[in-house]
Amino acid sequence: MSSFYALIIGAGSTIAQAAIAQFEQNPDCLGVFAVSRSLPHEDSNSAKVEKKVRWFICDNSESSIKDVVQQINQHSPNITKVLICNGVLHGTQQNNETMMPEKKLEDVNAEQLEAVFHANTVVPMLWLSKLVPLVKGKEATQVALFSARVGSISDNKSGGWYSYRASKAALNMLIQNSAIEYARRAKNVKLIAFHPGTTDTPLSKPFQRSVPKDKLFTPEFVASQLLAIMDSVEMNAIEGHAIEGHAIEGNRNAAFLDWNNQAINW
């Protein structure tokens, strides 16, 4: 593997910090650009990783994303690994009410739908729309966005979790749509919608009770699996692919893969 730089967006998350630590230990990785809403706390694992990491603060507004991309672009590094780790499943809404996945139709409300869609769909797409100058080049480059198996429309057999499912399904469409344009403007890039499985993080804490022990993964395991997938994913364009009867030369579909490198139906 040739030397490279990595970019991790949503770098404050548990899996992102595990990935940063693994990039730090990789001799081929020359540096990591880590983007988060705030700097890591001194007692966090990410604070111990300093030699290769440069942190950028971003509130994920369009103007802030544009500014960070411009700052990173000034360094003109060869960024060939990008992780977009932003997302939300539960939390506190503006009215201080607890936000949990909806179990029935009566649980659906506009504030939660908007909050979940913004975090899981809008923010990753804003980043994806601004990244072309950083990843366009000759080297094979992978951009992985954290999706979820429950975002698969064809795989939905149990219902529920309305805002989370829909936000991930919408993200998947945006990833697939972006892959078509990336194939024209940045032919070296492969987009990956990644399902990490149930990982032992604050995101999954309220839902771990029913998860078998062998299906509750450590952040380090998931990060290792994702980085291995990024290294091995098929990069070849699909020539002559057609959408609604219109041929698109050199279109490269995005990949929707789980932690075990198994394809998930969109």
Q: Residue 34: which CATH number?
A: 3.40.50.720
Predicted confidence at residue 29, as pLDDT, reads 96
CB atoms within 10 A of CB 53: 20
Count of structural domains within the chain: 1
- Give every residue of the chain whose pLDDT is below 70, as ranges: 1, 41-50, 90-97, 200-215, 236-252
How much helix, strand and coil, in percent to the nearest 5, is found in the chain? 40, 20, 40
Paired tokens of 257:
């893969």
Residue 264 included in any domain:
no
Residue 263 included in any domain:
no
CA gap 93, 119 in Å, rounded? 12
pLDDT digits (tens, 9 = 90+) for 212-265: 666 678 999 999 999 999 999 998 654 444 444 444 444 468 999 999 999 999
pLDDT digits (tens, 9 = 90+) for 18-28: 999 999 999 99
CA gap 24, 26 in Å, rounded? 6
Residue 96 included in any domain:
yes
Predicted confidence at residue 205, as pLDDT, reads 52
For residue 54, CA distances in Å to 20, 47, 51 come to 11, 11, 9
Residue 30 burial by Cβ neighbours in a 10 Å radius (0-12, 13-18, 19+): middle
Predicted confidence at residue 175, as pLDDT, reads 98
Predicted confidence at residue 251, as pLDDT, reads 46
Residue 266 included in any domain:
no
Position 204, amino acid: S
| Residue 251 three-state SS | strand
Residue 31 included in any domain:
yes
Residue numbers of the domain that contains 125: 4-258
Residue 176 included in any domain:
yes
